[in-house]
């Protein structure tokens, strides 16, 4: 296969990966918004545990059918990954409870510079001036259209710091593990999803009761709410898988930067489906700035020297070309 054909195939798979992630992420946010706002199912941590339980079930079925190859991941790495991921989920929920929405959004924006720092320190990645400026433009645009009131307290600040660093480490670790052990996204999910499901379903009800003062077992389950929960869990499989695909094919920084397109889409679709309250010139301007920054980032980071790893210090246990992995062989957006 010629280099041009390989490049075209990689570009097509990259675009399909991003589209898969954007569609599933936006869909699950809208479904969960309806589930929580309309039907009062406010048990976010427990729901995330259900998501990973559904993902585990699918990986077990596919593995038994031979669609997922057997792979090895050390228990120590699984434990570290699950700790990062669960602290991320719980930290985000606690941060939103203890801080204003404005500060919560600012905390989410800081994940990009933190992810950049991790790549610079751990992977010796260097960014060009245009790449840095494009990231800054994305941050400004998203801040303009999402940050309103900003108030913070000591415990809220600590929760936000834990949430930001654990999320950045979890996303970095997705890319790290796939490179180090040369495993696909479904394989990595097969190793990590069971542990996340068990831990979140165990801790989730207690965490949700602390956050909402409501018990998940006392919720009035109706046919419609159950169908929404099933729909949410089904979409979550795609969301978890697509996150691992995108971070595996790209990096955590690119996932965060271009991932803000989902923020813009959620805002836009929210105005369409849930009313135009809050839509003003500031929001429209912020969306335009953020989109311009994303386009600039995509162009700047793809140029020679735009974003490069000076030395590759991570040994791999097997050799595999991740640029040619099919999308079908490759999480969670916080609720």
Average per-residue pLDDT in the chain?
81
Domain of residue 55, residue span: 13-306
CA 261 vs CA 103, 264, 327: distances in Å: 20, 5, 21
Is 32 within 8 Å of 233 (Cβ atoms)?
no
Q: With a cut of 90, say whether residue 327 has pLDDT above it.
A: no
pTM for the model stands at 0.78
Is 109 within 8 Å of 163 (Cβ atoms)?
no
Is 309 within 8 Å of 124 (Cβ atoms)?
yes
Of 169 and 244, the structure prediction assigns the larger pLDDT to: 169
Question: Distance between CA atoms of 266 and 272, rounded to whole angstroms?
Answer: 10
pLDDT given for residue 2 in this prediction: 61
Any domain includes 315: no
Any domain includes 138: yes
Q: What mean pLDDT is predicted for residues 61-68?
A: 84
Q: What is the DSSP string of 67-79?
A: SS------HHHHH
Is 203 within 8 Å of 52 (Cβ atoms)?
no
Q: What mean pLDDT is predicted for residues 51-76?
A: 89
Partners of 44 in beta bridges: none
* pLDDT one-digit tens code per residue, 101-128: 778 778 888 888 888 888 888 888 888 8
pLDDT given for residue 84 in this prediction: 94
Range picked from 18-32, 100-114, 252-266 for highest mean pLDDT: 18-32
Among 83, 72, 76, 80, residue whose Cα is nearest residue 191: 72
Any domain includes 326: no
Q: What is the longest distance spanned by two Cα atoms in the chain?
A: 61
Of 320 and 64, the structure prediction assigns the larger pLDDT to: 64
Q: If pLDDT is split at 50, 70 and 90, which confidence band does 333 have? A: very low
Q: With a cut of 50, say whether residue 323 has pLDDT above it.
A: no
The count of domains in the chain is: 1
Among 10, 72, 36, 26, residue whose Cα is nearest residue 212: 36
Q: With a cut of 80, say whether residue 55 has pLDDT above it.
A: yes
* pLDDT one-digit tens code per residue, 192-250: 999 999 999 999 999 999 988 999 999 999 999 999 999 999 999 999 888 888 887 87
Q: With a cut of 90, say whether residue 151 has pLDDT above it.
A: no
Any domain includes 148: yes
Q: What is the CA radius of gyration of the chain?
A: 20
CB atoms inside a 10 Å sphere around CB 80: 15
Phi-psi sector, 289: left (phi>0), alpha (psi -120 to 50), beta? alpha
- Three-class DSSP category at 326: coil
pLDDT given for residue 278 in this prediction: 58
Q: With a cut of 50, say whether residue 330 has pLDDT above it.
A: no
pLDDT given for residue 332 in this prediction: 39
- Three-class DSSP category at 276: coil
Any domain includes 328: no
Q: With a cut of 80, say whether residue 320 has pLDDT above it.
A: no
Any domain includes 57: yes
Any domain includes 222: yes
Of 300 and 45, the structure prediction assigns the larger pLDDT to: 45
- Three-class DSSP category at 116: helix
CB atoms inside a 10 Å sphere around CB 246: 28
pLDDT given for residue 33 in this prediction: 85
pLDDT given for residue 201 in this prediction: 95
Among 71, 53, 77, 58, residue whose Cα is nearest residue 328: 58
pLDDT given for residue 7 in this prediction: 66
Q: If pLDDT is split at 50, 70 and 90, which confidence band does 143 have? A: confident
Any domain includes 313: no
* Strands (DSSP E) found in the chain: 125-127, 307-309
Which residues are within 8 A (CB) of 230 and not within 5 positions of it... i.e. 6 or more apart?
A: none
Among 51, 67, 48, residue whose Cα is nearest residue 59: 67
């Amino acid at each position: 296969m010629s280099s041009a054909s390989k490049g075209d195939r990689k570009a097509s798979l990259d675009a399909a990966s991003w589209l898969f992630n954007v569609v599933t992420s936006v869909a699950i946010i809208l479904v969960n918004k309806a589930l929580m706002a309309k039907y009062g199912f406010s048990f976010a941590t427990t729901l995330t545990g259900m998501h990973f339980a559904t993902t585990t079930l699918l990986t077990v079925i596919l593995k038994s059918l031979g669609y997922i190859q057997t792979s090895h991941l050390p228990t120590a790495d699984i434990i570290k990954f699950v700790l990062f991921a669960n602290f991320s989920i719980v930290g985000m929920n606690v941060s939103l409870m203890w801080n204003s929405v404005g500060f919560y959004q600012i905390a989410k924006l800081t994940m990009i510079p933190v992810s950049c720092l991790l790549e610079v320190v751990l992977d010796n990645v260097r960014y060009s001036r245009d790449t840095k400026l494009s990231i800054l433009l994305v941050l400004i645009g998203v801040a303009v259209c999402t940050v309103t009131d900003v108030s913070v307290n000591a415990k809220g600040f600590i929760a936000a710091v834990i949430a930001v660093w654990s999320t950045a480490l979890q996303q970095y670790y997705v890319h790290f593990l796939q490179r180090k052990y040369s495993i696909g996204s479904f394989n990595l999910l097969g190793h990590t999803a069971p542990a996340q499901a068990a831990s979140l379903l165990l801790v989730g009800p207690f965490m949700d009761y602390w956050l909402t003062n409501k018990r998940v077992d006392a919720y009035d389950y109706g046919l419609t709410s159950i169908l929404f929960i099933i729909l949410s869990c089904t979409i979550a499989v795609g969301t978890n898988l697509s996150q691992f695909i995108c971070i595996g094919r790209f990096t955590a920084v690119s996932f965060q930067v271009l991932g803000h397109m989902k923020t813009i889409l959620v805002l836009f679709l929210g105005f369409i489906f849930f009313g135009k309250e809050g839509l003003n010139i500031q929001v429209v301007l912020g969306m335009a700035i953020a989109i311009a920054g994303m386009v600039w980032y995509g162009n700047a980071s793809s140029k020679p020297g735009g974003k490069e790893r000076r030395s590759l210090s991570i040994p791999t246990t097997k050799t595999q070309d991740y640029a040619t992995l099919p999308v079908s062989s490759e999480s969670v957006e916080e609720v």
